[in-house]
A and B are shown apart, each in its own frame.
Chain A
Amino acid sequence: MLDQVRSLGRNGLQTLQTLGRSGVFLFFVIFTSQSIRISFPLLVRQLYSVGVLSLVIIIVSGLFIGMVLGLQGYNILVDYGSEQAIGQMVALTLVRELGPVVTALLFAGRAGSALTAEIGLMKATEQLSSMEMMGVDPITRVISPRFWAGFISMPILAMIFSVVGIWGGMMVGVDWLGVYEGSFWANMQASVDFQDDVMNGVIKSIVFGAVCSWIAVFQGYDLVPTSEGISIATTKTVVYSSLAVLGLDFVLTAVMFGGV
């Protein structure tokens, strides 16, 4: 009995410690980038592997999600004779919710896990410590470019996701199911507001980008340097990122659209 209470306390303390460590770690990552000129080529390299290489999965899923939204929306709306509203429905759903959220979930699976595994393997093979031996700060050299690359890539990916999704919805609605194109766009433009809908979606994706990259690099940097530790950390990255994204999405939606 006492042992169980003790282990509960120990777990609580460990969780708190990890949280504190990750906060300090984030502080270092953000504020210790010494020189833009040295780290810019590193950032470009990471933008390539985090952003450009994620484009395929983002575009394909965006297209199919937009098409499914168009198809489902049409089937429901056509009963009420208002299938022109399909543009409005697809655009609002994508720009406000699905664009940022699904992009963040895919990003956590595609790029976040890769970041964790890469940094973790560097730690396990003691590349990070040898960097420190040579007087190179591993945070500036390895962690920071990866964090910023994720932070920058996410809003871009989310916007591309929304645009491709709307295009997919248009393809299904207008080209296949015969909704009139003019009313498709007019309904969309009448109901989507740039400030309230598009910019709030972008703000969401910026927050998700920061959180997902933070979790990914921290899990990689903080893991137990064994092959089992790497696998546990990679799993944790995906699970924690997804939970954080879904939870934060509710909070952000409540603040932005719910008037709570």
Chain B
Amino acid sequence: MYSRWIELLVGIFMLAGVGALLVLALQVSGLTLAKGGDSYTIYAQFDDLGGLSVRGKVAMAGVTIGKVSAIELDKKTFSAKVSLTIDSDVDFLSIDSTAAINTAGLLGEKYVSISMGADEQSLKPGDVIYDTQSALNIEKLIGNFATGK
């Protein structure tokens, strides 16, 4: 009888461990189970990233539709080439969409915000968004203001 209690408690202990891992995965790190594979990659050229980093989110109208998967320097244009991994159910981005780097709140993280264009054709995997707006650089703004430009 005593040993059955112990076995039961050890079983509950193990289950609590699995439960804790699940809470950490789903609730704390926001991992979603049914995701992976079904996405496509487009690129965007920016003059200044201003602190955008890999794993930053890509949003349209504030709704997350993908993430920043890679950042590299384009050696021809000397601008930043950002790979955006977009969920495949968002397949209606028109080819004249614009991308901008925004900040979530005053001190929040940087994210890429995509605004819809008017063209009928939509972006295919591998296409590049050229019409972009770089991160707001406060030092530059103040500098421009001070020199009266």
Chain A residues, Cβ within 8 Å of B105: 82
List A175-207 residues whose CB lies under 8 Å from chain B.
Answer: 185, 188-194, 197-198, 202
Minimum CB distance partner of A189 in chain B: B30
> Are A193's CB and B10's CB within 8 A?
no
Given contacts A52-B9, A80-B107, A81-B106, A162 and B14 within 8 Å (CB-CB): no
Overall SS of chain B's interface: helix
Chain A residues, Cβ within 8 Å of B13: 47-48, 51-52, 55, 153, 156
Other contacts beyond A156-B13, A192-B30: 18, CB < 8 A: A44-B7, A45-B3, A52-B6, A55-B16, A81-B106, A82-B105, A156-B14, A156-B16, A159-B17, A159-B24, A160-B17, A160-B20, A190-B30, A190-B109, A193-B29, A198-B24, A198-B25, A198-B28
A110: shortest Cβ distance to chain B, in Å?
15
B residues neighboring A (CB under 8 Å): 3, 6-7, 9-10, 12-14, 16-17, 20-21, 23-25, 27-31, 55, 57, 105-107, 109
A74: shortest Cβ distance to chain B, in Å?
16
Overall SS of chain A's interface: helix
Minimum CB distance partner of A99 in chain B: B24
Contact of B29 among A44, A81, A160, A198 (CB under 8 A): A198
The reply on A245 being an interface residue by CB < 8 A is no
User: 1/0 contact trace for A134-168 toward B, CB 8 Å?
Assistant: 00000000000000000001011001101100100
Chain A residues, Cβ within 8 Å of B9: 48, 52
Given contacts A91-B28, A166-B28, A160 and B10 within 8 Å (CB-CB): no
Given contacts A80-B107, A95-B24, A194 and B17 within 8 Å (CB-CB): no
Chain B residues, Cβ within 8 Å of A162: 20, 24, 28
Most buried by B among A45, A52, A153: A52
Q: How far is the CA of A188 from the CA of B31 in the complex (A)?
A: 12
B30: shortest Cβ distance to chain A, in Å?
3
A6: shortest Cβ distance to chain B, in Å?
51
A215: shortest Cβ distance to chain B, in Å?
23
> Are A155's CB and B17's CB within 8 A?
yes
Q: How far is the CA of A160 from the CA of B105 in the complex (A)?
A: 33
Could you pull out 21 A-B pairs where Cβ atoms are within 8 angstroms?
A52-B12, A55-B13, A82-B105, A153-B13, A155-B17, A156-B14, A156-B20, A159-B17, A159-B20, A160-B17, A163-B23, A185-B27, A189-B27, A189-B29, A190-B57, A190-B109, A191-B109, A194-B24, A194-B31, A198-B29, A202-B21
Interface residue total, chain A, C-beta cutoff 8 A: 32
B62: shortest Cβ distance to chain A, in Å?
12
Minimum CB distance partner of A192 in chain B: B29
Most buried by A among B9, B29, B106: B29
Minimum CB distance partner of A59 in chain B: B16
> Are A44's CB and B6's CB within 8 A?
yes
Minimum CB distance partner of A91 in chain B: B28
Q: How far is the CA of A198 from the CA of B26 in the complex (A)?
A: 11
> Are A48's CB and B6's CB within 8 A?
yes
Q: How far is the CA of A55 from the CA of B55 in the complex (A)?
A: 36
Q: How far is the CA of A190 from the CA of B10 in the complex (A)?
A: 34
B2: shortest Cβ distance to chain A, in Å?
10
